[in-house]
Structure 1
Amino acid sequence: MYQEKIINPPSGYLTFALFLALLGAAIFCFVTQSFIWGGCLLAFNFFLVLPGLIINNPNESKVLTLFGKYVGTVKTDGFFWVNPLTTKRKVSLRANNLNGQQLKVNDKLGNPIEIAAVVVWKVNETAKAIFSVENYMQYVNIQSEAAVRHLANIFPYDHAEGEENSITLKDGAEKVSDLLEVELNERLSRAGIEVLEARISHLAYAPEIASAMLQRQQATAVIAARKLIVEGAVGMVEMALEKLSEKGIVDLDEERKAAMVSNLLVVLCGDKHVQPVVNTGTLYN
């Protein structure tokens, strides 16, 4: 594993001034017909002075190698002169967005789902990015896909029966994104890559089971709604019986109480409007 070595080369302005002076001297030599000296000055100027001049833009770096050996990295922006024999490779230090493609994987329960993630990353250590992996951008793409697949395999898409407190891909977005960011940083540290943010951008059931899962969700919602209605209706019936008994409005035996409870539950729990029936006799007719 290569460790990054930051170097600060000398300014290139003095070297550029030397280049112009030597160029002028070479032209003078040719004018005075000193072709040998003029040729030597031009060769020295264009082969040893000019190739060493580099421009480093903000959030950009130059990785220098000399005859296969790592020399160092220039991260300071500006105009510099380095050894002209070194090989210079530009590495951007800017943040990059990786909009991952939609992957079809199985969640923890075995349900096929579609998932994709957006990853914001940047090069943190240039030496590792250049020398530790073949192509660091391709490395980011492949490792990000592997991390998303692994994340989808260890969590269910939605809550299963009796596991309402477990983390799911659907409801635990923040927790899942934090775990994805941690795993990506571990995977990409070999290439000197730092992950700034990772978020799930797409999450859905696969088309072949989407309809069945939608019916399941609708049934679960209906059951939850009915449960709430029944609980509320029982409370209202209980309150009605207590009020009638407390105020002494009517004295009902157990059979009439049962009939009243039945009628009230039908009215309160029914999903359609009821038609009232007026009894002109007694409660027992």
Structure 2
Amino acid sequence: MKEEKIIVPANGYLMLFVFLVLFIGGIAAVVAYKNPWFVLSIATALFIALGFIMVQPNNSRVLLLFGKYVGSIKKNGFYWTNPFYTKKKISLRASNFDSERLKVNDKLGNPVMISTILVWRVQNTYKAAFDVDNYENFVRVQTDAAVRKLASMYPYDNFADEGLAEDITLRSSVNEVSEALEKEIDERLSIAGIEVLEARIGYLAYAQEIANAMLKRQQATAIVAARHKIVEGAVSMVEMALEELSKKQIVDLDEERKAAMVSNLMVILCGDKDASPIVNAGTLNH
């Protein structure tokens, strides 16, 4: 397979001077001498004019001679090339691509809506022009394919009951997922001479049919986690209270009264509402 060949054509300003001499001189000679042979000078000048080419910054021209690749011009400027060359313009500027929102299944089989934002540019003009049919359409199709593959590799989110606490997820592991996506797209687009500058998730959400159920599940998971912390803290506080009472010998509690005290404290500390204390005006036994 051929590789990209960078060329620098002839100076365009020099050939512009030759064009003006032949064109203006030919017209003047025809008028002055009435000789039709001077028309050849005008025709030659017009033929030379077909070879002028202007390359703007961050643009390129791929040159072909009767179907044969001649080279690529990447340096901006005003040039003159063989008039028989076919010139194909390829932009070297960075381009943004915001993919459509795709409905795919994550690692757990849950349907999610996902899209990606891709920043890319052409690095190899030969591959972009000849190794793929349409490099811009190639970028779109391969990006969608890479996003579908990426979504199937990771779960949308972690759930404690599924043992995924250590896994990378689409929602929380933004940097890891972006790196994996960029690597996957870069490998796919290298055949077209495309350089991936940045790739990241632009939109991510559960599909509409399961969005409400998953929201309730996330809320339930959060409530369970909060309750776990509350109970853990309550047990620690009850333990500290019993130790301090025993250490300072404020009151001597038997096992039955300790159990009652623990029960009351746990109810107070773990309850959703503030407790309403009842003051016992009699003895502890009445």
Gaps of 5+ in 2: none
Within 5 Å, give how 1:1-285 maps onto structure 2: 1-47=1-47, 49-160=48-159, 161-285=162-286
| Superposed displacement of residue 274, structure 1 | 1.1
**Deviation per residue, 1:168-204 (Å, 9 max, x gap):** 1111111111011111111001100000000000000
| Superposed displacement of residue 157, structure 1 | 0.5
- In structure 2, give the amino acid aligned to 1:62: R
Once residues 94 and 273 of structure 2 are traced to their aligned partners in structure 1, the CA distance between those partners, rounded to angstroms, is 59
Q: Is the 8 A contact 1:26 1:37 kept in 2?
A: no
SS of the counterpart of 1:32? helix
Once residues 36 and 186 of structure 2 are traced to their aligned partners in structure 1, the CA distance between those partners, rounded to angstroms, is 59
| Superposed displacement of residue 33, structure 1 | 4.2
Once residues 14 and 244 of structure 2 are traced to their aligned partners in structure 1, the CA distance between those partners, rounded to angstroms, is 99
Q: Is the 8 A contact 2:57 2:76 kept in 1?
A: yes
TM-score, length of structure 2 as denominator length: 0.98
1:154/1:35 CA distance change after superposition, 3 Å: farther
| Superposed displacement of residue 282, structure 1 | 2.0
Once residues 120 and 259 of structure 1 are traced to their aligned partners in structure 2, the CA distance between those partners, rounded to angstroms, is 66
TM-score, length of structure 1 as denominator length: 0.98
SS of the counterpart of 1:228? helix
| Superposed displacement of residue 273, structure 1 | 1.2
- In structure 2, give the amino acid aligned to 1:208: E
| Superposed displacement of residue 10, structure 1 | 1.6
**Deviation per residue, 1:66-124 (Å, 9 max, x gap):** 00000000001111111110000111000000001100011111000000000000000
**Deviation per residue, 1:20-78 (Å, 9 max, x gap):** 1111111112212444223211111112x111111110001010000000000000111
Q: Is the 8 A contact 2:23 2:46 kept in 1?
A: no
Gaps of 5+ in 1: none
Once residues 183 and 173 of structure 1 are traced to their aligned partners in structure 2, the CA distance between those partners, rounded to angstroms, is 15
Identity %: 58
Once residues 120 and 35 of structure 2 are traced to their aligned partners in structure 1, the CA distance between those partners, rounded to angstroms, is 55
Q: How many residues align?
A: 284
SS of the counterpart of 1:80? strand
Q: Is the 8 A contact 1:2 1:132 kept in 2?
A: no
Instruction: Using the TM superposition, name which of 151-160 and 239-248 deviates more.
Output: 151-160
| Superposed displacement of residue 264, structure 1 | 0.5
